[in-house]
């Protein structure tokens, strides 16, 4: 059975080997499979400036093996859209304590039959609802838009699409809501939560440094 585990700097020591697996899989999937060459590293790990103490990972783990994952990062801090893709957000970059950036989403090849994907999408909505996050932002290829529509996510583009490495991409904001959580659960016939919290996790919004705002 696959569960989606919440990993923050509060409980990371319990998950160190899974976090290393996550970095290695990210390299395999984004640098090698997807060909995002800027991410290539000799050590075979994809680790960037946003893999710091503010990152939150939602890791799909089945029998001790990471089979999918995603990362959230506070928009109140410098993040990928503000640092690298501000030109994609011509309608303004949403930034607030209640808005997180969503990156590095994947499912391992042998699990790409929809269900792990939907568990991760449901876990994203559920986790954000629990933590008082109202919106997540992301830079995505255009094929994400019908996928989100299919599972009932409410999406707002932040600007017009721009071609990046040959693919039309858009920055978007995705609303967090009970309706979207219910909708993705119904779509995938997920009857109950897959979200697991282990250890003492402090509420996320308490941990963002005000000084950085
Ligand atoms: C940033 C993302 C943010 C959200 C954070 O019938 P098909 O195979 O055409 O159906 C496919 C396509 O419609 C579409 N799709 C998936 N990958 C595509 C691609 N590279 N180009 C165009 N369309 C693509 O999704 C349908 C289902 O895909 P799937 O792979 O058969 O199954 P599943 O289980 O829904 O998994 C989808 C994901 C995206 C999770 C999986 O393909 C994956 O992990 N891909 C590699 C990582 C990745 O590209 N992540 C998104 C960018 S990060």
**DSSP state string for 146-196:** HHHHHHT--EEESS--EEETTEEEEEEEEE--HHHHHHHHHHHT--S--EE
CA-nearest of 169, 140, 168, 166 to 153 is: 140
Q: Ligand 1 within 6 A of 110 CB?
A: no
Q: Ligand 1 within 6 A of 99 CB?
A: no
d(CA 93, CA 196): 31
The pLDDT > 90 percentage for the chain reads: 92
Ligand 1 center from residue 206 Cα (angstroms): 33
Domains parsed from the chain with CATH numbers = 3-212 (3.40.630.30)
pLDDT digits (tens, 9 = 90+) for 31-85: 999 999 999 999 999 999 999 999 999 999 999 999 999 999 999 999 999 999 9
Ligand 1 center from residue 92 Cα (angstroms): 27
Q: Ligand 1 within 6 A of 101 CB?
A: no
Q: Ligand 1 within 6 A of 34 CB?
A: yes
- How many beta carbons lie within 10 A of that of residue 66, not counting itself? 24
Residue 58: half-sphere exposure toward Cβ, Cα within 13 Å = 28
Tell me the pLDDT band of 211, cut-offs 50, 70 and 90: very low
Average pLDDT over residues 107-133: 97
Q: Ligand 1 within 6 A of 138 CB?
A: yes
Residues 6 or more apart from 112 whose CB is under 8 A from it? none
Tell me the pLDDT band of 210, cut-offs 50, 70 and 90: low
Atom 17 of ligand 1 has which residue's CA nearest to it? 143
pLDDT digits (tens, 9 = 90+) for 135-171: 999 999 999 999 999 999 999 999 999 999 889 999 9
Instruction: Identify the pLDDT of residue 213.
Output: 46
pLDDT digits (tens, 9 = 90+) for 19-32: 999 999 999 999 99
Q: Ligand 1 within 6 A of 140 CB?
A: yes
Q: Looking only at Cα atoms, what is the longest distance across the chain?
A: 44
Average pLDDT over residues 96-115: 96
Q: Ligand 1 within 6 A of 100 CB?
A: no
| Residue-wise burial string across 143-182, b where 16 or more C-beta atoms lie within 10 A, e elsewhere | ebbeebeebbbebebbbebeeeeeeebbbbbbebbeebbe
Best residue among 56, 105, 146 to mutate for probing ligand 1's pocket (most ligand atoms within 8 Å of CB) is 105
Tell me the pLDDT band of 183, cut-offs 50, 70 and 90: very high
d(CA 31, CA 16): 22
Instruction: Identify the pLDDT of residue 206.
Output: 83
Best residue among 33, 106, 110, 173 to mutate for probing ligand 1's pocket (most ligand atoms within 8 Å of CB) is 106
């Amino acid at each position: 059975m696959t569960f989606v585990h919440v990993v923050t700097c509060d409980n990371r020591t319990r998950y160190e080997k899974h976090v290393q697996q996550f970095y290695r899989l990210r390299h395999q999937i984004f640098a090698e499979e997807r060909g995002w060459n800027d991410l290539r590293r000799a050590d075979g790990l994809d680790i960037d400036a946003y893999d710091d103490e503010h990152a939150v990972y939602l890791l799909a783990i089945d029998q001790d093996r990471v089979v999918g994952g995603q990362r959230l990062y506070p928009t109140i801090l410098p993040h990928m859209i503000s640092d690298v893709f501000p030109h994609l957000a011509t309608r303004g970059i949403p930034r607030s304590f209640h808005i997180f950036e969503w990156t590095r989403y994947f499912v391992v090849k042998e699990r790409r039959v929809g269900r792990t994907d939907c568990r991760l999408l449901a876990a994203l909505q559920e986790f954000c609802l629990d933590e008082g996050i109202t919106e997540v932002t992301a830079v995505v290829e255009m094929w994400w838009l019908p996928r989100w529509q299919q599972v009932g996510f409410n999406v707002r583009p932040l600007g017009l699409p721009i071609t990046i490495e040959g693919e039309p991409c858009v920055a978007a904001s995705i609303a967090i809501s009970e309706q979207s959580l219910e909708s993705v659960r119904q779509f995938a016939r997920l009857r109950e939560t897959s979200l697991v919290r282990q250890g003492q996790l402090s509420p996320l919004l308490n941990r963002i440094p005000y000084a950085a705002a």
